[in-house]
């Protein structure tokens, strides 16, 4: 990105799945990249080991209680450390070229917003921040002169495919979904699936929250909202197809009948590399796609009956206003409740839909500031917590 010198990279969410993939890629390119700040929630030892390995200038834990452990783990090193909200915001604002925004959930909104700075690139993994406050986020990025490039594999493929034609000539954008581990399950079976089964994703290895979202198809719903904001596409130009092999990540159809698709093996290091180097291409030992060794690439329409989360997300996107913010917050509560075995798998979309219905009467406005986004998020979480008691009582 930076001609001559090394590209300076900060990673928010360094100890997670995207953080690990990013750092693995940086291991291949130590001559081109240097690490400025690394931030995580509470894994002090894990963060310290990464900060030491990559010679980071700054290591930060969002959870203030981890400060002394981090200090101890980095004793004798010339690495500045901090903990708590202020520290996280300082890490987001530290002088750097690229910020990899890879915190999971709406928790990423405030620090990712804080990272928006002139001439800075945000390699965005944290889709929840676009679902929660997409209009605000993109408008702030434009106003500040920050560049937002998607790291999510589908959107990263869209970014590349869009380069093949003019924006005005785009007819339709299709995001693919693997269909998750329950793609072939009959509806009755879905009521009995366990968190362990839901956490076994067929093609990708990711953090727990997004893995559950992939199993419900909520992830694809969140990604529709993400695509709407990233590429300024009307909801009716966005479509989802189930593609179990996860090789074709997205397709862009142009009005002349041409379709340009983005393909790769399902390995997040590939879209991360694109987001770090775009429009240049990184040269690294990337796993090659061998189409000849694959039996078939298949595509089918999603079943919104068995996977209502996608339908609910599409409705929230169409409704606009505060609905996507509510959807995101309710889904975070629902996923946690499922992982804690408080509700069953079908309880996830059911809870989210109930929260959206309840929230309707509150006439909540589309957030215009981070504070407003967090306030709507908070209301939705409270509604979800109340409804959860009823759901859990029914289930037991
Ligand atoms: P993960 O759970 O593996 O990691 C999350 C990271 O965020 C960890 O480093 C954790 O310490 C940090 N974190 C969590 N809460 C925090 C808080 N309150 N403050 C500061 N840091 C906090 O998640 P992941 O799978 O790496 O996903 C991260 C984001 O990337 C999510 O938004 C997800 O939707 C998106 N994404 C992930 C993948 C993937 O392959 N894993 C693909 C596409 C998009
Ligand atoms: Mg994705």
Average pLDDT of the segment spanning 29-52: 97
Average pLDDT over residues 335-350: 97
143 with 187, same domain? no
The closest-lying atom of ligand 1 relative to the alpha carbon of residue 42 is 11
Position 393 scores a pLDDT of: 77
- What average pLDDT does this structure show over 219-232? 98
Residues 246 and 133 placed together within one structural domain of the fold: no
Pocket of ligand 1 (CB under 6 A): 13-19, 39-41, 62, 88, 102-104, 107, 125-128, 152, 204, 206-207, 210, 268
Same domain, 60 and 208: no
Q: What is the CATH number of the domain that holds 303?
A: 1.10.1740.10
* Best residue for ligand 1 mutational test, from 85, 207, 381 (most atoms within 8 Å of Cβ): 207
pTM tops 0.85: yes
Per-residue pLDDT of 304-337, as tens digits, reads 999 999 999 999 999 999 999 999 999 999 999 9
In this structure, the answer to whether residues 228 and 304 fall within a common structural domain is yes
| pLDDT of amino acid 204 | 85
Q: Report if residue 275 sits inside a domain.
A: no
Residue ending a domain, among 109, 132, 150, is: 150
Residues 145 and 169 in one domain: no
Cα of 43 from ligand 1 centre, angstroms: 13
Q: CA distances (Å), 21 to each of 11, 15, 25, 26, 272, in order?
A: 11, 10, 6, 9, 8
Q: What is the pLDDT of residues 266-306, one digit of tens each?
A: 999 999 999 999 999 999 999 999 999 999 999 999 999 99
* 278 within domain boundaries: no
Query: Do both 112 and 20 map to the same domain?
Result: yes
Q: How far apart are CA 329 and CA 318, in angstroms?
A: 17
For residues 358 and 235, membership in a common domain is answered with yes
Partners of residue 170 on adjacent β-strands = 254
The encoded tokens of residue 211 equal: 């893995």
Q: Which of 150, 185, 218 is the last residue of a domain?
A: 150
Does residue 189 sit in the same domain as residue 328?
A: yes
Residue 325 shares a structural domain with residue 187:
yes
Angle between helices 308-319 and 218-231 in degrees, nearest 10: 30
Contact 155, 226 (CB under 8 A): yes
Count of structural domains within the chain? 2
Do residue 127 and residue 226 come from a single domain? no
- Ligand 2 centroid vs 155 CA: distance in angstroms? 7
- The answer as to whether 273 is a domain residue is no
Contact 137, 127 (CB under 8 A): no
Nearest C-alpha to atom 43 of ligand 1 is from which residue? Answer: 152
Kindly give the distance from the C-alpha atom of residue 220 to the centroid of ligand 2, in angstroms, as a whole number: 7
Residue 280 lies in a domain: no
Closest by CA to 113, choosing from 137, 85, 91, 90, is: 137
Residue 286 has φ and ψ, to the nearest 5°, of -70, 140
Q: What does the pLDDT average to over 252-276?
A: 98
Distance 6 CA to ligand 2 centre (A): 28
User: Hey, whose CA ends up nearest to atom 4 of ligand 1?
Assistant: 16
Average pLDDT (345-364) is 97
Domain that holds residue 90: 7-150
CATH of the domain at 105: 3.40.50.720
Q: For residue 91, is it within any domain?
A: yes
What pLDDT is stored for residue 4 in this prediction? 61
Beta-ladder partners of 148: 122
Same domain assignment for residues 173 and 135: no
Identify whether 274 is part of a domain. Answer: no
264: nearest Cα among 161, 173, 162, 170: 161
Nearest residue (by CA) to ligand 1, atom 27, is 104
Residue whose C-alpha is closest to residue 210's, from 154, 250, 259, 169: 154
Taking the C-alpha atoms of residue 286 and residue 100, their distance in angstroms, rounded to an integer, is 19
Distances (CA, A) of 130 to 82, 90, 91, 319, 370: 27, 21, 20, 16, 12
Residue 3, pLDDT score? 47
Report if residue 11 sits inside a domain. yes
Q: Distance of alpha carbon 237 from its chain centroid, rounded?
A: 21
- 276 inside domain: no
In this structure, are 247 and 364 located in the same domain? Answer: yes
CA of 331 to the centre of ligand 1 (A): 15
Domain boundary among 95, 124, 150: 150
Whole-number average pLDDT of the chain:
96
């Amino acid at each position: 990105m930076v001609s001559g010198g090394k590209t300076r990279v900060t990673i928010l969410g360094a100890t997670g799945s995207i953080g690990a993939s990013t750092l693995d890629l940086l291991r291949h390119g130590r001559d081109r990249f240097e690490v400025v700040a690394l931030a995580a929630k509470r894994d002090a030892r894990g963060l310290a080991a990464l900060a030491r390995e990559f010679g980071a200038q700054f290591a930060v834990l969002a959870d203030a209680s981890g400060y002394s452990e981090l200090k101890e783990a980095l004793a004798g090193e010339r690495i500045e450390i901090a903990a708590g909200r202020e520290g996280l915001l300082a890490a987001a604002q530290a002088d750097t070229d690229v910020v990899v925004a890879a915190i999971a959930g709406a928790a990423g909104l405030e620090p990712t917003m804080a990272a928006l700075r002139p001439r800075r690139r945000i390699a965005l993994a944290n889709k929840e921040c676009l679902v929660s406050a997409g209009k605000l986020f993109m408008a702030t990025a434009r106003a500040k002169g920050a560049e937002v490039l998607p790291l999510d594999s589908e959107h990263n493929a869209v970014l590349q495919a869009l380069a093949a034609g003019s924006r005005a000539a785009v007819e339709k954008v299709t995001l693919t979904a693997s269909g998750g581990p329950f793609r072939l399950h009959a509806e009755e079976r879905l009521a009995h699936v366990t968190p362990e089964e839901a956490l076994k994703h067929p093609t990708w290895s990711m953090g727990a929250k997004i893995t559950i979202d992939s199993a419900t198809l909520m992830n694809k719903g969140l990604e529709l909202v993400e695509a709407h904001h990233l590429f300024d596409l009307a909801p009716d130009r966005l479509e989802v197809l189930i593609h179990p092999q996860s090789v074709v990540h997205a397709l862009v159809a142009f009005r002349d009948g041409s379709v340009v698709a983005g393909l790769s093996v399902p390995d997040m290091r590939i879209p991360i590399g694109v987001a770090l180097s775009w429009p240049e291409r990184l040269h690294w030992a990337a796993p090659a796609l061998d189409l000849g060794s694959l039996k078939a690439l298949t595509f089918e329409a999603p079943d919104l009956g068995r996977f209502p989360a996608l339908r609910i997300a599409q409705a929230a996107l169409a409704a606009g206003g505060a609905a996507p913010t509510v959807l995101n917050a309710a889904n975070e509560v629902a996923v946690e409740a499922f992982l804690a075995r408080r509700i069953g798998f079908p309880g996830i979309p059911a809870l989210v839909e109930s929260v959206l219905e309840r929230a309707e009467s509150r006439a909540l406005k589309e957030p215009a500031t981070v504070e407003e986004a967090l306030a709507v998020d908070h209301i939705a979480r409270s509604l979800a917590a109340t409804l959860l008691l009823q759901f859990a009582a029914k289930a037991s």
